[in-house]
Amino acid sequence: MDISIEDKTICIGEGASCAGALQTALSGKKFKNCAAALVHGVLLDLSSPVPAGAASLEPVYADSPAGLEILRHSAAHVMALAVRRLFPGTLVSIGPAIDKGFYYDFDTARPFTPEDFPAIEAEMRKITTQALPFTRREVPKSEALRLFRDQGEIYKVEIIEELDAETVSLYDLGEFTDLCRGPHLPHAGLAKAFRLLSVAGAYWRGSEKNKMLSRIYGTGFADEAALDKYLHGLEEAKRRDHRKLGRELDLFDFHEDVAPGMVFWHPKGMLLRTILEDFLRKEHLKRGYELVQGPQLLRRELWEKSGHYANYRENMYFTEIEGGAFGIKPMNCLAHMLIYGSAKRSYRDLPVRYAELGVVHRHEMSGVLHGLLRVRQFTQDDAHIICRPDQLEDEIIGVMALVRDLYNLFGFSYKLGVATRPEKHIGTPEAWELATNALIKALERLGLPYTIYEGDGAFYGPKIDGRVTDSLEREWQCSTIQCDFTLPERFDLSYTGNDGGKHRPVMLHRAILGSLERFIGILIEHNAAVFPTWLTPEQARIVTVSEKQDDFARKTQARLLAHGLRAHVDLRNEKLGYKVRAAQLDKIPYVLVIGDKELEADEVNLRLRGGETLGSKKIAEVVALIQADSDEPFKQGGMSYRFT
């Protein structure tokens, strides 16, 4: 039969394998890099026969996204075989590929530790060097049960018993047999570029009622160069870890014993977020928003009316006051709707744009809390736009302009996606279709590319999500624009149209940076805590050579403060080099050194945090330099840090 492979048409015999067909069509180097084959959208092992009637066959290379998933899943099997050889009696459960790696959960006499990694990796290298083949076989369910019962593999038995199938697929790698759908690499030799990374405890099937298993995480790539790049990124991520830098720079801390998942902001960190909050408020006022604030507690009946109680209550906290049940707000929209509904509105009044840096609380499991990136109490740069249906697309475009400006300001590239109706939702299909189409039309008017995220919308409406990419090439979901026809209906929001009749507005829920805590954590890791001068809590530090310059240092500080700059003095009885180095470690943009020469000339010796020396400068020159540096990022897009 004739089959097409990479624009080549070849003739293969009946029952020919995918490997045979690919080897005929591809160069030797390309074929050696094949992990699997794709036929009619189905991934197949290379050893599989080409399906009858197939017209085309695509190679799946080991360095492609699909190929890497297969490679990492195969590496998990290699690790399991190595563990079984080194630790006899260990039982295996599941070992999937995950984003950027793989893991396997083991039931073992003692939990594994990183000290076990060298021996396990050495055995894995032996397996990959031998290029042991992966062999697939289909067997009756009863035979698979008998096999794993004989081996005492209770976890595999439990999985198979729950399968509604007459046959199951098994993969053999050496003496290790695993239950698996596949596909897998043709042999273990293609999984040589791997590394074991960490260990963790994991309850079987995620339930604390079950036994705690020992999980080993690893990663794998198609070649050593890609692996080395990834490992370097991991080391850089450790160096930039916002929790570590937050402590070192005295920005914030956590006290999990008294307030798990909640941040204690120290003076420098609080100043940083205050600068950010002030900037956001001013930027919103420039764009026609009005500042509002709602209460932290609202009666449960209100959350029932909105649908939050039925669809979101597992993420909420509730309390009782004088016999009444109250919900601590996880979001700000309900209060904003009540503010809108407090007065009659005309079509001429719309759109109404309410903005609030609102503190919200959401219940998160303790196991997922992670510094600033996952907390239980946080502040959203939240806003709600209530508008006429004919204004909707323009309002979405206005929000997208703010997304663009803020992400550009902080140096983030970003991707957009439209998240559609989830299984758990409120509102009619017609309302969802109107809302989804409005979001898509706005993006298409802007000519912006987007991805559809099926079923990822909020329970009350679809949304545009903005995912930023940081300097370590990690994606973070930050901005969201949610289009909602349903809550205005539930809360009977209205306006008087030009026909004198009552009409229903549409509401946009939106956040740009999202959680300020989370965004600051992302920004710290993106910039390694080297904040732009306009945002850094301490813009200048004045250091002296000896106590003779102390009075002049204090006067210099006063002059900088009078110009609105943030400056501190270091008058410690330490050597100059020590104090300059301390300022650099604290990532202070400008270091003003004062010695006898500077004191006599009424000047300072100016140094930058990168180590450059700008020489002697008058105080007025220093002020102008810092102000210009602070203003520089705002020259694009009509933004301005100096708000008047």
Tokens of 328: 């601590």
Check pLDDT > 80 for residue 639.
Answer: no
Residues 347 and 444 reside in one and the same domain: yes
pLDDT in tens, 262-290: 999 999 999 999 999 999 999 999 999 99
Q: Is 149 a catalytic residue?
A: no
Band (pLDDT 50/70/90 cuts) for residue 53 is: confident
Whether the CB-CB separation of 134 and 187 falls below 8 Å is answered with yes
Residues 352 and 496 reside in one and the same domain: yes
pLDDT in tens, 61-87: 999 999 999 999 999 999 999 999 999
Q: Is 187 a catalytic residue?
A: no
With respect to residue 640, please indicate whether it lies within any of the assigned structural domains.
Answer: no
Look at residue 590 in the predicted model and tell me its pLDDT.
98
Q: Is 370 a catalytic residue?
A: no
Which of 505, 527, 549 finishes a domain? 527
Share above pLDDT 70 across residues of the chain, in percent, rounded to a whole number:
99
Tokens of 559: 């002059």
* Better-predicted residue by pLDDT, 616 or 208: 616
Band (pLDDT 50/70/90 cuts) for residue 636 is: low
The one catalytic residue in 382, 470, 484, 586 is: 382
Tokens of 544: 């002296």
With respect to residue 262, please indicate whether it lies within any of the assigned structural domains.
Answer: no
Residue 595 structural domain = 540-634
Rounded alpha-carbon distances, angstroms, from residue 74 to 119, 176, 626: 19, 12, 55
Residues 46 and 131 reside in one and the same domain: no
Residues 99 and 163 reside in one and the same domain: yes
Check pLDDT > 80 for residue 180.
Answer: yes
Look at residue 5 in the predicted model and tell me its pLDDT.
83
Q: How far apart are CA 242 and CA 520, in angstroms?
A: 9
Which of 527, 561, 589 finishes a domain? 527
Q: Is 384 a catalytic residue?
A: yes
Whether the CB-CB separation of 127 and 84 falls below 8 Å is answered with no
Nearest to 608 by CA among 592, 595, 585: 592
Tokens of 590: 């400008």
The one catalytic residue in 18, 333, 387, 483 is: 333
User: Model's pTM, two decimal places?
Assistant: 0.84
The one catalytic residue in 329, 509, 587, 617 is: 509
- The C-alpha angle 560, 564, 566, rounded to 5 degrees, equals 65
With respect to residue 475, please indicate whether it lies within any of the assigned structural domains.
Answer: yes
Look at residue 263 in the predicted model and tell me its pLDDT.
97
The one catalytic residue in 72, 85, 240, 380 is: 380
Residue type, 482: Q
Q: How far apart are CA 86 and CA 439, in angstroms?
A: 56
H/E stretch holding 603 reads none
Burial class (CB in 10 A: 0-12, 13-18, 19+), 255: exposed
Residues 280 and 371 reside in one and the same domain: yes
Enumerate residues 6+ apart whose C-beta is below 8 A from 193: 220, 221, 222, 223, 224, 226, 227
Whether the CB-CB separation of 482 and 336 falls below 8 Å is answered with no
Band (pLDDT 50/70/90 cuts) for residue 367 is: confident
Q: Any idea which of 455-469, 518-532, 566-580, 616-630 has the lowest mean pLDDT?
A: 455-469
With respect to residue 643, please indicate whether it lies within any of the assigned structural domains.
Answer: no
Look at residue 391 in the predicted model and tell me its pLDDT.
95
Where b means 16+ CB within 10 Å and e means fewer, 412-439 reads bebebbbbbbeeebbbeeebbebbbebb
pLDDT in tens, 287-330: 999 999 999 999 999 999 999 999 899 999 999 999 999 999 99
Nearest to 73 by CA among 107, 99, 102, 40: 102
Tokens of 332: 């700000």
Average pLDDT of span 578-603: 96
Residue 23 is part of a domain; what is its CATH number? 3.10.20.30
Check pLDDT > 80 for residue 192.
Answer: yes
Residue 625 is part of a domain; what is its CATH number? 3.40.50.800
Whether the CB-CB separation of 297 and 329 falls below 8 Å is answered with yes
Band (pLDDT 50/70/90 cuts) for residue 643 is: very low
Q: How far apart are CA 569 and CA 586, in angstroms?
A: 13
Check pLDDT > 60 for residue 642.
Answer: no
Helical residues (DSSP H) of 410-541, grouped into ranges? 429-446, 486-490, 516-527
> For the chain, how many structural domains are there in total?
4
Residues 318 and 343 reside in one and the same domain: yes
The one catalytic residue in 240, 308, 329, 384 is: 384
Look at residue 460 in the predicted model and tell me its pLDDT.
84
With respect to residue 293, please indicate whether it lies within any of the assigned structural domains.
Answer: yes
Check pLDDT > 90 for residue 10.
Answer: no
Q: How far apart are CA 546 and CA 264, in angstroms?
A: 36
Check pLDDT > 50 for residue 644.
Answer: no
Residue 152 is part of a domain; what is its CATH number? 3.30.980.10
Look at residue 616 in the predicted model and tell me its pLDDT.
96
Share above pLDDT 90 across residues of the chain, in percent, rounded to a whole number:
86
The one catalytic residue in 72, 362, 374, 566 is: 362
With respect to residue 186, please indicate whether it lies within any of the assigned structural domains.
Answer: yes
Tokens of 123: 């055995």
Residues 355 and 476 reside in one and the same domain: yes
Residue 350 is part of a domain; what is its CATH number? 3.30.930.10
* Better-predicted residue by pLDDT, 14 or 65: 65
Q: Is 627 a catalytic residue?
A: no
Check pLDDT > 80 for residue 375.
Answer: yes
Look at residue 13 in the predicted model and tell me its pLDDT.
77
Q: How many CB atoms lie within 10 A of CB 114?
A: 11
Q: How far apart are CA 177 and CA 163, in angstroms?
A: 18
Which of 471, 499, 527 finishes a domain? 527
The one catalytic residue in 463, 510, 526, 579 is: 463
Look at residue 29 in the predicted model and tell me its pLDDT.
87
Average pLDDT of span 614-636: 92
pLDDT in tens, 128-172: 999 999 999 999 999 999 999 999 999 999 999 999 999 999 999
* Secondary structure class of 528 (helix, strand, coil): coil
Q: How far apart are CA 526 and CA 595, in angstroms?
A: 36
pLDDT in tens, 397-447: 999 999 999 999 999 999 999 999 998 888 888 889 989 999 999 999 999
Longest dimension (CA), the chain: 95
Cis peptide, bond prior to residue 351, ω within 30 of zero: yes
The mean of the pLDDT values for the chain is 93
Q: Is 241 a catalytic residue?
A: no
Residues 39 and 122 reside in one and the same domain: no
Q: What is the DSSP letter of 461?
A: B
Check pLDDT > 80 for residue 7.
Answer: no
Residues 421 and 545 reside in one and the same domain: no
Tokens of 496: 């008087």
Q: Is 382 a catalytic residue?
A: yes
Tokens of 547: 């106590």
Residues 371 and 448 reside in one and the same domain: yes
* Secondary structure class of 57 (helix, strand, coil): coil
Average pLDDT of span 525-532: 96
With respect to residue 364, please indicate whether it lies within any of the assigned structural domains.
Answer: yes
Look at residue 427 in the predicted model and tell me its pLDDT.
86
Residues 309 and 340 reside in one and the same domain: yes
Residues 98 and 203 reside in one and the same domain: yes
Backbone angles phi, psi at 596, to 5 degrees: -60, -40
With respect to residue 263, please indicate whether it lies within any of the assigned structural domains.
Answer: no
pLDDT in tens, 210-268: 999 999 999 999 999 999 999 999 999 999 999 999 999 999 999 999 999 999 999 99
